[in-house]
Structure 1
């Protein structure tokens, strides 16, 4: 299958794993990088053997490039993705799709008008762990799913992150930081969400940096730091998702669990591609570990872009798609909105449960991506 020529915009920390993607996914051919910091772009180009270093404008003008991977900061996602679509490029963007729901809708409408694809991270749901969990659910191992829980509870990033301020500004917070992983996994496992209810709070008005390099600096808190969402799925299941930067003493809660009429499925951290899966069937005395039945259980970021590239060539739907990313974005906003307005919020932007990956897909058997 003919490779898809790709340009990467944004060469920050996360770019490394994407620039490695062609070594795992033969459909991708990264031919250029661009960044506002040209020196950084040049360094990445040398490190990952990328032929060209461009400005953004030069990249979008290059007719050889079919697809752009947008790794800019979230507030630039809309502007860069819009420009790439207007230039006739397919786009795969890091999460979130945009900051604003209406802007996200505009991007998808433009892409449809121009016959282009928009894909969006996270693509961890395409890893071996969550694909195996999906297979277990589809095979009826736990019966009909009736409920789900997800927990991301911690003390916040000010103890380790070199620039934690963003996490406490509007558009930040634990839900917008980690919610996309959990919500994308839920939609993959259970299907679309139709209604949400939320309750939010902040335990502290200011956070104190505890990293040695910036110890004692105060960060004003401008967004909720403990966010609880109730999720009503179209299939009838009810979910609970709690994300928090206010849990200072740790937790013994699981990352995710799915509860069915015949048993319980313990799902590993959706921020990862692998992890331990456990099932406790009705009547059993304990959980038993289930081996992974799919590949790509290591850090395989880029698999979503590779699946989209194969979909472009094969003329099928891609899995980490813009419609799902838009629903995830709307759900996160709606949880916060529900808390402020004190009411249920109906989700307006529809999506479909993405197809499970073909069984047997591996690095040595990538033609199965064509299915």
Structure 2
């Protein structure tokens, strides 16, 4: 299959994981990388034997068909808009945008221009999560009843060299970590119908403890502990908690409950992990992962799937519609917390098609 020309904008922390993983996918032809910080782009280019280029140059290059947008969250919408206006397909790191209205504009513009738009996370395509999908689809849980989703930590200032954006408008645990959990839940249970929630900011400032800026204080402008409930269109009701304020906990990342069984799903921030299934009247039993992409960090799997989809004309899985739906759900938690009301979700999305074949060896998957 003909390679797809890729341009990367944004050379921060996450770009290294993307560039390492992209080498696994023969369809991806990286034509250059760019960052407003030219020295950072040159550093990444030297590290991965690529060409550092200017943003405008990448957008004007006719050999670049897809822009991979790895900028900080608050820049996602603006950069994606630039790419679409330049006639490029675009795939953004999560979230699609920090404001639901901006995300909707992107999806509408892409549709008007006949272009593809996609967004991370793509971890739901990982082997363990696709195996969990197959278990749910086989009816092992019976009628879906509910579940729990939990990400709780003391905060990213412990390890990130520049954690400021996590606590600025457009940051916070829901927009940062919520995409992994909610996207995987949509993959397993389908779209969300309604949301109720509460949110607090436990502290007005945080102290950085990562090495370079150890001891520096940064202000907090967003809720840092968000909790609530999602009512899914399939009838299931799932509790969720996303926090940068919890010293430690024992909650598993994802549990799904049905009338006939309970499924333990591993951390949706990773592609693999142990699955466990309890059938009614029995005990939890570990299950093997039967699908590919459970043995490493394949961050860019969604880009590869999108490239194959562009070439073959099929839908891509980490789609703009999916990302917009997840963004509206996350936005709804904050609105519910502010208004004390239940928020109905207006966007619709299909569950992405299962992925059970390898994209590494050039096959396109079903």
1:290 equivalent to 2:263? Answer no
Q: CA shift at 1:214, angstroms?
A: 4.1
Q: CA shift at 1:251, angstroms?
A: 0.8
User: What aligned pairs does 1:94-105 form with structure 2 within 5 A after superposition?
Assistant: 94-105=93-104
Contact (CA 8 Å) 1:295, 1:362: kept in 2 or not? no
**Paired position in structure 1 for 2:109:** 110
Q: CA shift at 1:17, angstroms?
A: 2.2
Q: CA shift at 1:65, angstroms?
A: 0.9
**Paired position in structure 2 for 1:200:** 199
**Paired position in structure 1 for 2:182:** 183
Deviations 1:244-297, CA, capped at 9 Å, x for gaps: 12212x11111100001110000100000001111111010x211000011111
Q: Distance in 1 between matches of 2:65 and 2:209?
A: 45
Deviations 1:290-317, CA, capped at 9 Å, x for gaps: 0001111110011100000111111111
1:367 equivalent to 2:366? Answer no
Q: CA shift at 1:15, angstroms?
A: 1.1
Q: Distance in 2 between matches of 1:37 and 1:209?
A: 23
Q: Distance in 1 between matches of 2:359 and 2:77?
A: 33
Q: Give RMSD over aligned pairs.
A: 1.5
Q: Distance in 1 between matches of 2:16 and 2:97?
A: 22
Q: 1:362 to 1:104 in 2, by over 3 A?
A: closer
Deviations 1:314-362, CA, capped at 9 Å, x for gaps: 11110000111111111111101101101010111211111111x3436
Q: 1:57 to 1:148 in 2, by over 3 A?
A: same
Unpaired runs of at least 5, structure 2: none
**Paired position in structure 1 for 2:42:** 42
SS of the residue 1:111 aligns to: helix
SS of the residue 2:251 aligns to: coil
**Paired position in structure 2 for 1:303:** 301
SS of the residue 1:69 aligns to: strand
**Paired position in structure 2 for 1:146:** 145
Question: Which moved further from structure 2: 164-173 or 304-313?
Answer: 164-173
Question: Which moved further from structure 2: 118-127 or 139-148?
Answer: 139-148
**Paired position in structure 2 for 1:244:** 243
Contact (CA 8 Å) 1:295, 1:361: kept in 2 or not? yes
Contact (CA 8 Å) 1:231, 1:240: kept in 2 or not? yes
Q: Distance in 1 between matches of 2:290 and 2:76?
A: 35
What TM-score do the two structures reach when normalised by structure 1? 0.94
What TM-score do the two structures reach when normalised by structure 2? 0.96
Contact (CA 8 Å) 1:19, 1:30: kept in 2 or not? no
Contact (CA 8 Å) 1:21, 1:28: kept in 2 or not? no
SS of the residue 2:52 aligns to: strand
Q: Distance in 2 between matches of 1:304 and 1:122?
A: 8
Contact (CA 8 Å) 2:99, 2:170: kept in 1 or not? no
Q: Distance in 1 between matches of 2:4 and 2:24?
A: 14
**Paired position in structure 2 for 1:334:** 332
SS of the residue 1:229 aligns to: strand
Deviations 1:4-35, CA, capped at 9 Å, x for gaps: 11111111121122223342111111111111
1:74 equivalent to 2:73? Answer yes
SS of the residue 2:286 aligns to: strand
Deviations 1:132-184, CA, capped at 9 Å, x for gaps: 00000001122222101101111112333222332222222111110010010
**Paired position in structure 1 for 2:341:** 343
Q: 1:171 to 1:360 in 2, by over 3 A?
A: closer
1:314 to 312, 319, 331: 312
Q: 1:44 to 1:214 in 2, by over 3 A?
A: closer
Contact (CA 8 Å) 1:296, 1:362: kept in 2 or not? no
SS of the residue 2:46 aligns to: helix
Q: CA shift at 1:215, angstroms?
A: 4.4
Q: CA shift at 1:200, angstroms?
A: 1.1
Q: Distance in 2 between matches of 1:127 and 1:264?
A: 20
Q: Distance in 2 between matches of 1:45 and 1:178?
A: 28
Q: Distance in 2 between matches of 1:315 and 1:23?
A: 23
Q: CA shift at 1:205, angstroms?
A: 2.9
